[in-house]
């Protein structure tokens, strides 16, 4: 299982189980941003169930060229949308590309791997680049897109003798940087996981839970050392994320919504259902089309037949696994709601029943409000997948 950015679409079962959003005030007193004197303005309460949903990777060419390749795996989530508007890149408005620059810009449909048509906007049009999606975003699904772009920027990709320096403001919660072949890492100003790819190139993977701008400076040096490929899990490429939608604690009932992207080649996809999620009423959804897969047994595992086989690196399948979990670790204890469970993967969000307020959390988590219900979102930036979480809440 490995990752691509994905956005939780706000459709059933949540829409059917939660009250309608409270009407917004015509004047937002919590607009965020900055005052003229540099002090911060308060922002509204957090309402996103998961952190930023896209993954970005930079592949550096030889330093003397000053060139590198940018790959972003992102989504267009509004239901019914038939276009993707690429308006902002790294916190700033994307410039209107010239004819020559657009020759280095590519968009692909991750389901088929086919190139998508796009046009460049004009100032005042409200978009910089508009891409035609292969199909309107379906109810119960998402719209995905892969963006490829070649850059040449000797100001930020600098040669210094046998060394090079690469500096950039990384945006998003999951970012990878692949060094040129034949270079060793000297330093990174931001904490990173490091793996050696099968082609011998070093890859740095960064997690930025806030999703905000995170400047990084990487120093590397030419080397004749051949690094041995190590089969480590690329934690931040993996986009698996799980929503635990809690019923009342007396029931021990939790609705599970788990989503991930699978890049493994072939015409079938093995379902990566964790052993600790024995789901009842299992449903498996193709999120590109919102059609239901029919799971079949494959030895001790389960798999689904893909309508479009995966044959190259520009393709993947985007899967939702849903069902009901009866968990004795979710219970009512002396009048308190208790969620006591070992969680797995990079991103997990626990959505409390309506009317319950958080009193204690054993792991660092982001607290917010979704449709009148409190949620706690966890981002596990360590390679060890399993970590115990205990949440205690009281009804008001």
Phi/psi for 319 (5° steps) reads -120, 140
Residue extent(s) of CATH 2.60.40 domains in the chain: 53-222, 241-395
User: DSSP secondary-structure letter at 16?
Assistant: H
What percentage of the chain reaches a pLDDT higher than 70? Answer: 85
CATH of 53-222, one of 1.10.540, 2.60.40, 3.30.413, 1.10.3470: 2.60.40
Q: Determine the Cα–Cα distance for residues 201 and 311; give it in Å rounded to an integer.
A: 23
Buried b (16+ CB within 10 A) or exposed e, 355-379: ebebeebeeebbebebbebbbbbbb
Q: What is the pLDDT of residue 389?
A: 96
pTM over 0.75: yes
Tell me the C-alpha distance between 286 and 65, whole Å: 41
* Residues in CB range of 325: below 8 A, 6 or more apart: 244, 253, 254, 255, 256, 277, 278, 279, 280
Q: Where are the alpha helices (DSSP H) in the chain?
A: 14-17, 99-102
What mean pLDDT do residues 328-343 have?
Answer: 96
Ranges 22-36, 238-252, 258-272, 342-356: which has the least confidence: 22-36
- Say which residue, 277 or 3, is predicted with more confidence: 277
Please tell me the distance from the alpha carbon of residue 17 to that of residue 353, in angstroms, as a whole number: 10
Scanning the structure block, which residue is given the tokens 């309608």? 20
Looking at residue 100, its pLDDT comes to 52
Q: What does the pLDDT look like over 359-374, one tens digit per residue?
A: 999 999 999 999 999 9
Contacts with 159 (C-beta within 8 Å, 6 or more apart), sequence order: 63, 64
Integer angstrom CA distances of residue 301 from 73, 194, 269: 28, 31, 11
Q: Which of 123, 60, 54, 61 is nearest to 84 (CA)?
A: 54
Which tokens go with 231?
């089969």
Highest-pLDDT range among 2-16, 45-59, 81-95, 337-351: 337-351
CATH number 2.60.40 given to 241-395: yes
So what's the pLDDT on residue 5? 29
Look at 124 and 66; give whichever has higher pLDDT.
Answer: 66
């Amino acid at each position: 299982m490995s990752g691509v950015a994905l956005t939780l679409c706000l459709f059933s079962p949540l829409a059917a189980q939660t009250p309608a959003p409270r009407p917004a005030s015509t004047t937002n007193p919590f607009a965020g941003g900055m005052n003229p004197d540099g002090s911060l303005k308060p922002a509204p309460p957090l309402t996103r169930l998961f952190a930023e949903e896209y993954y970005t990777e930079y592949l550096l060419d030889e330093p003397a060229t000053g060139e590198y390749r940018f790959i972003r795996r992102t989504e267009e989530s509004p239901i019914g949308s038939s276009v993707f508007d690429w308006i902002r890149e790294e916190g700033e408005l994307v410039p209107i590309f010239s004819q020559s620059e657009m020759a280095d810009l590519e968009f692909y449909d991750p389901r088929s791997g086919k190139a998508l048509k796009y046009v460049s906007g004009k100032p005042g049009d409200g978009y910089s680049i508009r891409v035609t999606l292969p199909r309107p975003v379906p109810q119960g699904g998402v719209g995905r897109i892969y963006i490829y772009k070649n850059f040449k920027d000797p100001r930020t990709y600098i040669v210094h003798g046998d060394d090079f320096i690469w500096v950039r403001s990384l945006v998003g919660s999951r970012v990878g940087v692949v060094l040129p072949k034949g270079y060793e890492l000297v330093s990174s100003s931001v904490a990173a996981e490091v793996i050696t790819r099968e082609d011998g190139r070093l890859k740095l993977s960064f997690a930025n839970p806030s999703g905000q701008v995170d400047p990084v400076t990487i120093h590397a040096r030419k080397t004749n050392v051949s690094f041995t490929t190590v089969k480590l899990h690329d934690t931040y490429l993996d986009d698996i994320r799980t929503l635990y939608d809690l019923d009342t604690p007396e029931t021990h009932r939790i609705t599970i919504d788990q989503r991930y992207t699978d890049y493994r080649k072939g015409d079938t996809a093995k379902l990566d259902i964790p052993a600790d999620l024995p789901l009842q009423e299992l449903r498996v959804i193709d999120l590109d089309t919102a059609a239901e897969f029919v799971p079949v047994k494959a030895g001790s595992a389960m798999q689904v037949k893909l309508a479009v086989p995966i044959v190259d690196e520009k393709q993947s399948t985007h899967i939702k696994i849903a069902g009901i979990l009866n968990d004795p670790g979710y219970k009512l204890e002396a009048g308190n709601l208790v969620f006591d469970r070992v969680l797995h993967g990079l991103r997990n969000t626990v959505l409390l029943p309506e009317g319950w307020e958080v009193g204690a959390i054993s792991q660092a988590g982001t607290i917010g409000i979704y449709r009148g219900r409190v949620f706690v979102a966890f981002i596990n930036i360590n390679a060890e997948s399993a970590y115990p979480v205990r949440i205690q809440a009281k009804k008001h």
